[in-house]
Chains A and B, each alone.
Chain A
Amino acid sequence: MKAAVIVFPGSNCDRDVAVALHQASGTAPAMIWHGESALPDLDLVVLPGGFSYGDYLRVGAIAALSPIMAAVRAHAERGGAVFAVCNGFQMACEAGLLPGALMNNAAGKYVCRHVAMRVETADSPFTSGYASGQRVSIPVAHHDGNYFADDATLDRLEGEGLVAFRYDNDNPNGSRRDIAGILSANRRVLGMMPHPERAADPALGGMDGAALFTSMVETLS
Chain B
Amino acid sequence: MSEFESFSEISDEGDNVNPVTSIDFLLHDDLLERILAYLPIASIFRAGCVCKRWNEIVNSRRLNVLSQKPWYFMFTSSDEPILWKWYSLELLCIEAPNWFIASSCGLVCFMDNDSRSQLFVCNPIIKDYDLGMEPIDYDVFGGLEPLDTSLPWDWDITRKVINPSEEEVVPPPPEKEEEAPPAPAGSQNNAVAHQQPPLPLPPQPQAVVLEGPPSPKPPVLVGAAIRTETAAVSAGFTTEVVAYNGGRRIVRPDWLPPFWTVLTKVRKNGKRAGQFDKYYEDPTRQYIFKSKKYVLEFLQHGKVVKKRGPKKAPKTDAAQEMPESSVQTAK
Question: Are A and B co-members of a single complex?
Answer: no
Residues of A near any B CB (own CB < 8 A): none
Residues of B near any A CB (own CB < 8 A): none
